[in-house]
Amino acid sequence: MKTIYRIARFELSTMFYSPIAWLVLIIFMLQTSLIYTDTFVMIERYLKLNFNIGGGMTFQVFNHPNYGMFRDVFQNTYLYIPLLTMGLISKEISSGSIKLLMSSPLNARQLVIGKYLAMIGYCLILALVLLILMLAGGLSIEHADFGLVLSAIFAFFLLAASYSAIGLFISSLTSYQVVAAIGTLATLAGLNYVDKIGQSVPIISDLTYWLSISGRTNEMAIGLINTRDIVYFLIIITLFLAFAVSKISGGRIVGHWWIKARAYILVFAIAILLGYISSRPRLVGYWDTTATKMNTLTPPSQDVVRNMRDDLKIVNYVNILDMSSFSATPRNQKRDFKRFDNYLRYLPQWEMEYVYFWDTITLGSYMIQNNPELSLEAIARKTADNWEYKFEELLTPSQIKQKIDLSTEDNQFVRVVNYNGKQSFLRMFDDIQRYPAEAETSAALKRLTGKTPKVYFVTGHGERDYEKSMDKDYQMAMTLRTFRHAMIQKGFDFERVNLESQNIPGDASLLVIASPTTPYTETELGKINDYIAKGGNLLLAIEPETKDYVLSIINQFGISVVNGQLNQNNDGFEKSFILADFTNEAKSISDNVEEYIEKSKKVSMPDVIAFSHTTASGFEIKPYLFVKAKDTKLVTENGENNFSAPVAYNITKKVGGKEQRIMVFGDADFMSNAEYQRNIDRRNVNAEIVGQIFSWFTYGEFPLNTSKPKNPDTKTTITKTGKLISKTVLVGVIPGIIFALGSIVLLRRRKK
């Protein structure tokens, strides 16, 4: 061990007797400092403009994958290391000293480990530079998330250490330092792109995917340390150091080439075996270093997966004519599976199957849209050729229908989750993200382990419909399959009930009556009243022109209609267009209401009914939305006056040991397709309250609350002068000190 230590100390001191080590250190310090200071200023400006940056300031400045400081650090590391490793062994070979070393009591293992430890020492110095920048961030950001940054620094150190081992091995192959540097760059490039090889061949894809170093730091860069990637780096380091030892000691072995090659083959085989074992989901450990646990499933999602005891299987039905299918092509299956890593932490018994087919598709197929002259089969053949599918192995429309009917899903790429004989759909969405997030994935899993909430829409009298796409209907909020915020993605099932011929089913979690346009019969009203008397939950949305058809229903709650027309002056809208405010009592529906009130968020409601109420009905009545007198006038036959009144209620009552929940809205358009999409200077929150209302009706069971805690690091603690001083120190003073120190060392060395 003493010999190894002496070699390491000598090699590190020799490294700093060369200008390359000092130059790399100065450039590294300058580059990272400039990226840090520029990114810090950019994010601070966004904060001053009240932009919702998300993820906290520490994440934005240091760890954001698109523009954070570490993005450039990881991308540029491969440029620095080959300059330092190119002469580690090659200079010994070119000078002939390698023969003297190998003829001495020193062995190849001691030489390689000693020189590698010298590189580790230099990597620690580079990591120290990053620690200095982390401390600068800690002084500038209030409640900075140090765990997040330390995880990224750890990832950098492992990456640099792996590059060093690779560079050392390549250096042992040649006597030319420049060739060693170029060879190291080529090897690193190969390891970054090896995962593109043979991804359509299962055995080869497993091997090349594991070998790839590309993306290995991604999770640690955002604060999630896992044993799979740590073991990978340790195996790569050990593998290339072993290769270097074999290469140097191979000169002493006399015999055929295969005798020398078997050592490489044996080491490589052991590395692959260890890599395979360490990457099994059941053996992978995780540590989320972030302050808010941003990389970990929220507690509700954890509860869902912990209740799943048996194996889970996802069958991916991939229509090659769907634009989203690219993410699940055979060569992308490994990356596609990796999207579920957060769930594999808690549910390792997870199987994925891919079924590829071609069939007609209405939405999202540019191939069909751009080739109208071709038949569907011809388009499918063209697509298969383009994406390297074997057309003969794809299921035809008739064959896929024998397995599963996807017509209700428009034959789009969809995942079917199977568990204990139950099935649940997990869809792709028509937005930038496209893939299901935690909220949608956990909802799909929860549907398999418990009772699914069923929402029944009363029909037969021209009521609003949950599947129609007209402006006044509710498809977008309820059942639009390509929209991630629709309630169908959050775990709800929807059915219609015609009270003329049907009774309200006993499994109803919620009954929705949305603006009937003709009167209900006495029999139908009797069924509704009987449902209410038994404690059923109800959402009743009324329109002014048809309010008389439901007066008997709302009167039993102690609610009366105020005669007259509500008007407001909202630029660009009719006077009857109302922006309603939240009441303080509405906080019982959702915690978000406090923020809505603070930021003056409103609900857009075209043509609204004003209400009044009494408390003698036996129900507890709380106004949910109201109009303010300073903004609103009530127009009657006697004129108009400033007026304040509730326009929506949430109503509760204890029935049979359970809290009955009812909501009455004086407008049926508040969650219509038109209002759901309306954006009035980001003031109206119609789209947001739908999920909150449905959560209230299901007692918090659905939709799952997968929101993360708010990041505490959203403010800076540094003044304008402080920023100038910080940049001067980081970009000028510290690099200047390194330059001066390097100059002194090199000059003294030259004198000697």
Tens digit of each residue's pLDDT (9 = 90 or more) over 241-255:
998 888 888 655 545
- Report d(CA 562, CA 613) in Å as an integer: 10
E strand spans, 118-187: none
| pLDDT at residue 555 in the model | 92
**Quick one: what percent of the chain has pLDDT higher than 90?**
57
Six-digit token pair at 254?
């006399």
- Spatial contact of 279 and 338, defined as CB atoms under 8 Å apart: no
Average pLDDT score over residue span 592-617: 91
| pLDDT band per the 50, 70, 90 thresholds, residue 228 | very high
- Spatial contact of 114 and 8, defined as CB atoms under 8 Å apart: yes
- Candidates 3.40.50, 3.40.390, 3.10.180, 1.10.150; correct CATH number of 454-563+608-627+645-697? 3.40.50
| pLDDT band per the 50, 70, 90 thresholds, residue 719 | confident
By mean pLDDT, which of 262-266, 525-529, 694-698 is the weakest?
A: 262-266
Q: What is the pLDDT of residues 313-325, one digit of tens each?
A: 999 999 999 888 8
Strand 602-606 relative to strand 577-582, pairing = antiparallel
Average pLDDT score over residue span 164-193: 89
- Position 260 pLDDT exceeds 80: no
- Spatial contact of 400 and 406, defined as CB atoms under 8 Å apart: yes
Q: Which residue has tokens 């359970």?
A: 658
- Spatial contact of 431 and 411, defined as CB atoms under 8 Å apart: no
| pLDDT at residue 549 in the model | 93
| pLDDT band per the 50, 70, 90 thresholds, residue 748 | confident
| pLDDT band per the 50, 70, 90 thresholds, residue 101 | low
H helix or E strand, kind and range, residue 540:
strand 538-541
| pLDDT band per the 50, 70, 90 thresholds, residue 604 | very high
- Report d(CA 437, CA 435) in Å as an integer: 6
Q: What is the pLDDT of residues 45-61, one digit of tens each?
A: 888 777 776 778 999 99
Q: 3-state class of 136 per DSSP?
A: helix
- Spatial contact of 522 and 498, defined as CB atoms under 8 Å apart: no
Question: Residue 489 has what DSSP assignment?
Answer: G
Residue 612, strand partner residues: 560
What is each CA distance from 415 to 98, 340, 353, 490, in whole angstroms?
59, 13, 10, 15
Q: 3-state class of 559 per DSSP?
A: strand
Its sign, for the CA torsion 468, 469, 472, 474, is: positive
- Position 402 pLDDT exceeds 70: yes
- Position 606 pLDDT exceeds 60: yes
- Report d(CA 257, CA 263) in Å as an integer: 11
- Report d(CA 197, CA 205) in Å as an integer: 7
- Spatial contact of 661 and 557, defined as CB atoms under 8 Å apart: no
Average pLDDT score over residue span 204-208: 74
- Spatial contact of 133 and 29, defined as CB atoms under 8 Å apart: no
Q: By C-alpha distance, which of 322, 421, 425, 328 is closest to 368?
A: 322
Compare 253 and 405 and report the one with higher pLDDT. Answer: 405
Q: Which residues contact 572 (CB under 8 A, 6 or more apart)?
A: none
- Spatial contact of 511 and 535, defined as CB atoms under 8 Å apart: no
| pLDDT band per the 50, 70, 90 thresholds, residue 513 | very high
| pLDDT band per the 50, 70, 90 thresholds, residue 69 | very high
- Report d(CA 503, CA 499) in Å as an integer: 6
Q: What is the pLDDT of residues 330-389, one digit of tens each?
A: 888 888 888 898 998 888 888 899 999 999 887 666 777 777 788 888 988 988 888 878
Q: By C-alpha distance, which of 514, 442, 476, 497 is closest to 702?
A: 442
Q: Which residues contact 281 (CB under 8 A, 6 or more apart)?
A: 344, 348, 350
For the chain, give every domain's residue range. Answer: 2-290+723-751, 299-446, 454-563+608-627+645-697
By mean pLDDT, which of 23-37, 54-68, 663-677 is the weakest?
A: 54-68
Q: What is the pLDDT of residues 421-445, one digit of tens each?
A: 899 999 999 888 889 999 999 999 9
Average pLDDT score over residue span 185-214: 78
Average pLDDT, the chain: 89
- Position 527 pLDDT exceeds 90: yes
Total number of residues shown for the chain: 752
Six-digit token pair at 700?
């918090």
Taking the model in full, what pTM does it have? 0.87
Supply the DSSP string of 217-251, one letter for each residue: THHHHTTEEEHHHHHHHHHHHHHHHHHHHHHHHGG
Six-digit token pair at 232?
């990978």
| Tally: H helices and E strands in the chain | 28, 20
Compare 458 and 198 and report the one with higher pLDDT. Answer: 458
Average pLDDT score over residue span 561-587: 92
| pLDDT at residue 588 in the model | 92
585 burial level (CB within 10 Å; 0-12, 13-18, 19+):
middle
Give me the half-sphere count of Cα atoms (radius 13 Å) on the Cβ side of residue 352: 19
Average pLDDT score over residue span 85-114: 78
| pLDDT at residue 105 in the model | 67
- Report d(CA 35, CA 61) in Å as an integer: 9
Q: What is the pLDDT of residues 265-295, one digit of tens each?
A: 888 888 888 888 888 888 899 999 999 999 9
Cis before 703 (ω within 30): yes
Using alpha carbons only, how large is the chain's radius of gyration in Å? 33
Q: What is the pLDDT of residues 630-674, one digit of tens each?
A: 989 998 888 889 999 999 999 999 998 899 999 999 999 999 999
Question: Residue 309 has what DSSP assignment?
Answer: -
- Spatial contact of 319 and 396, defined as CB atoms under 8 Å apart: no
